[in-house]
Amino acid sequence: MSRFAYKARDSAGNPVESAIDAPTRKDALRLLSARGLSVAAVVDASPAPGTAAAAPQKRSTPRAQELAAEQAGGARGASAPRRAETLPFLESLHDLTSSGLSGGEAVRLLSMRIKEPRLRTLCEGLWARLSEGAPLSRAMESYPGVFDSSTTNLVRAGEATGSLNDTLKRLIDLMTEQKELRTALLTAMAYPVVIVVASFGVVMFFLFFLLPRLQTLLHSLGGKMPLSTRILIALANFTLHYGLFVVIAAAIGIVAAWRWRETEAGREKSDAWLLRLPVIGPFIGSQTVLDFSQTLGVLLQNGITAAEALRMTERQIKNRVHRRAFDGAIDRVLEGEALSTALGRTGCFPDLVLDRLAVGENTGNVVPCLKDIATTYQLKISRQLNMFTKVIASVILGAVFVFVGFIAIAMVMAVLQVSSSFKVGG
């Protein structure tokens, strides 16, 4: 019989720290669960044979030690779990917990059944932590690159209230909506990119295939070429001789701008510039409202305190200007000011959103109000994406038509001028 020291919480949420005798560690966990305790840690406190009782030290399975080494070293392998595994894991976990399994048993089953390498590594690592007595939320905290703080806190709240399955469903809905929005954005940008590539190919075909042949023909026939043709030939020669340098300089400029944006000052400046752009600025504002309403609604619905929920929501706001303004609003809310009033001082939220939020506060229906706002802004962002796509495509097509038209006019003018010089000579 071994002795195990443990830390746990009782059904009322009070901390309990004591020891229990059991044949094995799993038996100790089973006995503690039967007592209605939520176990945080269990360590073997048995003294080594022939020595005095030593201070309890946490024992770890070989797999847990391997995972700890991977996490400390940054886990660079091909099977290292990433953020992309969050949604598939939660969906698989929800499917099993909906069938009546506990969260721990569901993770254990997933660690044996899942074939995808990264997801299997994640499930095995989580089960290694769970088998040591850690709750699911604490096991998920071991993978900050996969689960953000909002996700782990929501799971912790679901475990504490016995509503883990419902919490997983809300998390899945939220992440699915965010994934669909990102997919819509990428799809909207695909059409302008295709147009740019096709237009670039057409222009290069004119400059480097047709124009040199026309130039050779015009020189052989003699005569003075018009100004538009000379400009076109000069542009083609410049592109031929210096185009590579221009591309390299542009690439260096883009990389330098990207590195500058990665700094805190650069991010602040560039985010402020983006807000001033005609089409992009309103889109970023709508994105901020959507992130705020989606995240805060889910957090409050799952029992997260208002102060903690607001701080988590702040981290979901991507634009730094809006995030800084929201941070000031949180301070005023914690001082007792109404949320709608504090947000109104930021200048980031439309009046209609603030009015709807104020109504929700007055009637005690903040969460349903936030859900309605999120639904409204999902539709609004979809419309803005469609408009943005049409504007970009129209600008690109217009520029291409103008340039192609200029090439056509330059060629026709050259042919006409050469033919007219022949007539005069004749």
Long-range CB pairs of 337-342, under 8 A, 24+ apart, other chains included: 339/366
103 and 245 co-located in one domain: no
Q: What gap in Å lies between CA 144 and CA 133, rounded to an integer?
A: 19
Is 338 contained in some domain? yes
* Region 333-344 average pLDDT: 88
pLDDT of 255: 94
Interatomic CA distance for residues 146 and 419, integer angstroms: 71
pLDDT band at 223 (very low <50, low <70, confident <90, very high): low
DSSP per-residue codes, 109-162: HHHHH--SHHHHHHHHHHHHHHTTT--HHHHHHT-TTTS-HHHHHHHHHHHHHT
Q: Is the pLDDT of residue 364 over 70?
A: yes
106 and 112 Cβ atoms separated by less than 8 Å: no
Asked whether residue 168 is assigned to any structural domain, the reply reads: no
Instruction: Give tens-digit pLDDT for 227-261.
Output: 877 787 788 788 878 888 988 999 999 999 999 98
Contact 78, 120 (CB under 8 A): no
- Whether 300 maps to a domain, the answer reads yes
Share of the chain above pLDDT 70, in %: 84
**317 has a pLDDT exceeding 80:** yes
**Residue predicted with more confidence, 422 or 163:** 163
Burial of 382-417, coded b for 16+ CB within 10 Å and e otherwise, reads eebbeebbeebeeebeeebeebeeebeebbebbeeb
CA dihedral 308, 340, 316, 68 (to 10 degrees): 0
For residue 141, which of 123, 153, 133 has the smallest C-alpha distance?
153
Of the candidate ranges 306-315, 372-381, 401-410, the one whose mean pLDDT is the lowest: 401-410
Coil, helix or strand at residue 41? strand
Average pLDDT over residues 197-225: 73
Is residue 207 assigned to a domain? yes
pLDDT at residue 58 greater than cutoff 50: no
310 domain-assigned: yes
Q: What is the pLDDT of residue 1?
A: 59
**Residue finishing a domain among 86, 112, 147:** 147
Are residues 399 and 196 in contact, defined by beta-carbon separation less than 8 angstroms? no
Is residue 44 predicted with pLDDT exceeding 60? yes
**Does residue 419 have a pLDDT over 60?**
yes
Q: Is the model more confident about 255 or about 410?
A: 255
Check pLDDT > 70 for residue 149: yes
Specify if 260 maps to a domain: yes
Task: State mean pLDDT over 309-317.
Answer: 84
The answer to whether residues 238 and 344 belong to one domain is yes
pLDDT of res. 222? 63
Output the pLDDT for position 249: 94
Same domain membership, residue 197 and residue 132: no
CA distance linking residue 235 with residue 209, whole number of Å = 14
Q: Are residues 266 and 352 in the same domain?
A: yes
Whether residue 300 has pLDDT greater than 50: yes
| Residues 131 and 179 grouped into a single domain | no
* Whether 220 and 277 share a structural domain: yes
359 and 393 part of one domain:
yes
Find the mean pLDDT for residues 154-182: 81
| Residue 20: strand, helix, or coil | strand
Residue 56 reports pLDDT greater than 60: no
Please give the tally of structural domains in the chain: 3
Question: Exposed, middle or buried by CB within 10 Å (0-12, 13-18, 19+), for 122?
Answer: buried
User: Is 50 a domain residue?
Assistant: no
CA 301/CA 360 separation, integer angstroms? 14
pTM score, whole prediction: 0.63
Confidence (pLDDT) at 46 = 66
Q: Which residue has better confidence, 90 or 209?
A: 90
Rounded Cα gap, residues 153 and 310, in angstroms:
13
**What pLDDT was estimated at residue 47?**
60
Question: Mean pLDDT over residues 203-221, rounded?
Answer: 73
Q: Range with the lowest mean pLDDT among 41-50, 81-90, 278-287?
A: 41-50
Q: What confidence category does residue 83 fall into, taking pLDDT thresholds of 50, 70 and 90?
A: confident
Which three-class secondary structure state does DSSP give residue 386?
helix
- Tell me, yes or no, whether 60 lies in a domain: no
Residues 82 and 180 in one domain: no
What are the tokens at 378? 């999902």
Exposure string (b/e) for 132-171, b if CB count within 10 Å is 16 or more? Answer: bbbbbbbbbbbbeebbeebbbbbbbbbbeeeebbebbbbb
Sign, CA torsion 240/242/246/247: positive
Beta-carbon count within 10 A of 316 CB: 19
CA separation, residue 392 to residues 61, 279, 398 (Å):
56, 10, 10
Cα Rg of the chain, angstroms:
32
Strand order in the sheet with 38-44: 15-22, 2-9, 38-44
Asked whether residue 6 falls in the same domain as residue 133, the answer is: no
- Any idea what the CATH number is for the domain that residue 92 is in? 1.20.81.30
Q: What is the pLDDT of residues 366-396, one digit of tens each?
A: 889 998 998 898 888 888 887 877 777 788 7
Based on the domain organization, do 384 and 274 belong to the same domain? Answer: yes
Judge if 264 and 118 occupy the same domain: no
- Residues 297 and 408 both lie in one domain: yes
Higher-confidence residue of 71 and 149: namely: 149
What pLDDT sits at residue 144?
85
Provide the domain limits for residue 315: 174-426
Q: What's the mean pLDDT in 68-76? A: 42
**What does the pLDDT average to over 70-86?**
61
